[in-house]
Amino acid sequence: MAAGWALGMICLGMRDKKESFRDLQLEERLIRFIEGGKVIEPPQSMISTNYINESKCSSIKEGPYVNLHITAPSALLAISLMYLKSNDG
């Protein structure tokens, strides 16, 4: 929940600079975390080559699918804060 709150507040504060987030596909990813489905691969700008360890994973998945019981509440919070005061529905 803290991650959803933080992402939503950052996007709310940078509402005028929304174009800088376009390559991250935030809306599409958050909707996927709410509705479910297969995980979207991260864009090149999010991939770190400094540390690669195949035995550890920072994604919350159930096989190739997103675990909605964990991701949906945070994604709903983040996307609602992103659209707060935007008059965009």
Residue 32 counted as domain residue: yes
How many domains are there within the chain? 1
Residue 48 counted as domain residue: no
Q: pLDDT, tens digit, for every residue of 9-51?
A: 988 877 666 666 777 788 888 988 899 887 777 766 666 655 5
Residue 72 counted as domain residue: yes
Considering the entire predicted model, what is its pTM?
0.68
79: number of Cβ within 10 Å: 21
Tell me the residue range of the domain where 77 lies.
2-38+57-82
